[in-house]
Chain A
Amino acid sequence: MLGLNKKDTNLLLVVLALTMLAPFILNPFPTDSGLAQFNAGYPDLMQRFAIFGIFAIGFNILFGLTGYLSFGHAAFLGVGSYSAVWMFKLLSMNILPAIILSVIIAGLFALVIGYVSLRRSGIYFSILTLAFAQMSFALAYSVLTPVTNGETGLQLTLSDPRILGSSAAADGSIPVTNLFGLEMRSAWDMAVGPWTFTFSAGYYFCAIVLLVAFYLSIRIFRSPFGMMLRAIKSNQTRLNYTGLNPKPYTLAAFVISGMYAGLAGGLMAAMDPLAGAERMQWTASGEVVLMTILGGAGTLIGPVLGAGMIKYFENILSKINESVLHGWFAFMPDGLEDFFVAIVYPFVGKGWHLTLGILFMLVVIFLPGGLVEGGQRIGAAFRRKGKKAGGAEAEAAKQQPGE
């Protein structure tokens, strides 16, 4: 289907189902139950799942395929956000032109930065991208204030021209972002028994963009271009002596992943029309690296999983405070309750970064292939158990004659 083989089609269908049913899947607990705090099915968070998923998918095209570790990708995301907000200020509140401009501007940025940075490889490349991103960040904060509005961040005002729209809505407030009239913030609640599910226009728009982005990434992975990128990661010398020029291939990958980042940035502004310099800071670049590695660099679905997991933890873990913990452990005797609260407390609430850091270290140490590798190992273990011992031996024997 759509030019994909059976396995990839299935993967795409799974992602399709997950994204379209997300409001149900992410809200498994009744609204009034104590576990409702683990629900992630509210529009704001679901949008972030999709947006960071796109960001990570794009990053993975560069890092997962070519092995070039960029520490500056947040710059493209930031540039995308600024472009989109400017579009809302000058043109109209329709998100389509804004997002298109985000992608184009981020692509141009990536072209320039990539062209220069790709003259070096290894850690030198990482440092160059980091330096460019930090420079953009510092400039956005200071000198470029007329464009970026400095520390405050770029926001919409009632005096913006919006030549194809109106400066102010009928009720005198700032107009909201929309797609040909469909407001991004509009949502519809569905109550089923004790459950409430929210369907938000903004989320579904992000989800569809995510699906397209994911589909394109599958196509890139399976294309001759994708194969060349993997060859670059594997052995650049051989590629050179095979008559292929690695530079334009890596640059193309860099620009494509920059455009994905710009798309994510544009979407972010489309959901919430403001843009700040902190989106470009190196910690934000580090975050997308974490997402990609955590999920599984070089795999198709990994970055999406990694992004979802980190954003979920960020939102859910950071909401758990001491009194919530006491609630959980209330069934225990007092001393024991305090003890458990004291143990768990450093890892949740404001300390969720600690959990993230530990999780990330564990993944790098034990599961270099990320969550996807973890899933595969578990799957393999089950299959082995299911098979008879003889079958396993035969399989082992089959792998021998290669040597």
Chain B
Amino acid sequence: MDAILLQILNGLDKGSAYALIALGLTLIFGTLGVVNFAHGALFMIGAFCAVTLQRLLSLSHQVEVPGQVDFLGNPLMADVPYVTDWFGEATGNAIIDWSVPLAILLTIPVMLLVGYVMERGLIKHFYKRPHADQILVTFGLAIVLQEIVKYYYGANPIQTPAPEALSGVAQVLPGVVYPIWRIVYFCFAALIISGVFAFLQFTTFGMVVRAGMADRETVGLLGIDIDKRFTFMFGLAAAVAGLAGVMYGPINAPNYHMGMDFLVLSFVVVVVGGMGSLPGAVLAGFLLGILESFASTTWATTTLPGINQIIIYLVAIIILLTRPRGLMGRKGVMED
């Protein structure tokens, strides 16, 4: 029983990331009708927002440590971050310690901007082009984005630790311990997902967007400027992906190709959930995350060697063949 629970918990953090990326992908596909292969890169950029903030906060100047000398006899120098100068030792160090959660504040405007620029500058011109062209141009963009990040941040993963207070493990049930940050990540994901759904469900803006997803032309005929709203939706989807990335840093140290790794799986998730279905994307995200974690147990890998490596793809193939439109897909979406 505990073992099962633990596996479910283990699946939740990866599942959360899948769900968040898939949610954004689906938003973009459902509203704009665009297949965005650069979405993984947005996730990666989010993660590097945390890296950037961490670096900014640790910008420091050198001061002499009074009364100490190094082995050459010169006065010992120590790096002192500017933030500790400004806010005092305790607050300053706390700010640095909490840089990952704080990076959320940086991520939101950055991602909205990135999303806006991407949509207006590039994606806009591809609405009427075939899906293959959309895939190809966004694939090219993904390469460009990841190469830029690689150029500035290098090819090696960069640690972005969770705040001290959240980095231990917690006793979730008698006998079951689980890293706190993963619980935080799951709650954070749940919060964002509910936020997005609430936004679409309860605001007029969201209603128009949902109507647009169902039938773009009719809504356009009502004299509503769908395009502006859709631009915003692209920004929103980018922000969701970015937030998924920024908080993922402590689980897996950000590297420049993390976006591509997640993209392939997220696409599988979207297709399994059903192209264009938001609940489907979320459901499939968690489902596949949990399945993957079950498949990684020693029991599973000894019974079916290698199953942990291929489970997601296997499930995707089976679902696509038995339920052509995915778990919750609508008829006629993307079948050309």
Could you list which residues of chain A lie within 8 angstroms of chain B, going by C-beta atoms? 67, 69, 116, 119-124, 126-128, 130-132, 134-135, 138-139, 141-144, 282-283, 286, 289, 293, 346, 350-351, 353-354, 356-358, 360-361, 364-365, 368
Contact = CB atoms under 8 A, between A and B. Distances in A.
Given A357-B144, A365-B125, A138 B310 contact: yes
A112 B55 CA distance: 51
A364 B140 contact: yes
B320 A120 contact: yes
A264 to B, nearest CB: 22
Contacts of A356: 143
A120 B125 contact: no
14 contacts: A69-B132, A116-B321, A123-B271, A123-B275, A130-B267, A130-B268, A132-B313, A134-B313, A135-B309, A138-B309, A358-B140, A361-B144, A364-B140, A368-B133
A120 B151 contact: no
Interface string B285-316: 00000000000000000000110011001101
B335 interface: yes
Contacts of B151: 346, 351, 354
B316 A364 contact: no
Contact of B317 (A132, A283, A365): A132
Contacts of A289: 136, 139
B251 interface: no
A37 B135 CA distance: 35
A364 B306 contact: no
Given A127-B316, A130-B267, A131-B314, 7 more contacts: A69-B132, A123-B334, A127-B267, A127-B320, A138-B309, A353-B143, A358-B140
B316 A123 contact: no
Given A131-B316, A354-B144, A354-B147, A124 B335 contact: yes
B164 interface: no
B327 to A, nearest CB: 13
Contacts, number: 114
Contacts of A138: 306, 309-310, 313
A59 to B, nearest CB: 13
A132 B268 CA distance: 11
B320 A124 contact: yes
Nearest to B37: A286
Contacts of B321: 116, 119-120
Q: Is the interface of B mostly helix, strand, loop or mixed?
A: helix
B229 interface: no
Interface of B: 35, 122, 125, 129, 131-133, 135-137, 139-144, 147-148, 150-151, 155, 260, 264, 267-268, 271, 275, 305-306, 309-310, 313-314, 316-317, 320-321, 324, 334-336
Nearest to A119: B321
B147 A135 contact: no
A131 B268 contact: yes
Contact of A364 (B131, B133, B150): B133
Contact of A143 (B260, B305, B314): B305
Contacts of B313: 131-132, 134-135, 138
Contact of A139 (B139, B268, B309, B320): B309
A358 B141 CA distance: 7
A92 to B, nearest CB: 32
Given A127-B320, A364-B136, A364-B140, A354 B267 contact: no
B334 A286 contact: no
B320 A128 contact: yes
Contacts of B139: 286, 289, 360
A361 B309 contact: no
> Nearest 7 A-B pairs (CB), nearest first?
A357-B143, A143-B306, A138-B309, A361-B140, A354-B147, A357-B144, A131-B313
A135 B311 CA distance: 9
A121 B334 CA distance: 9
A135 B268 CA distance: 12
A122 B325 CA distance: 12
A280 B210 CA distance: 40
Contact of A127 (B133, B136, B140, B268): B268
Contacts of A123: 35, 131, 135, 271, 275, 334
Contacts of A364: 133, 136-137, 140
A358 B144 contact: yes
Contacts of B305: 142-143
Given A120-B324, A121-B335, A130 B264 contact: yes
Contacts of B155: 350
B136 A293 contact: yes
A350 to B, nearest CB: 8
A353 B310 contact: no
Contacts of B148: 346, 354
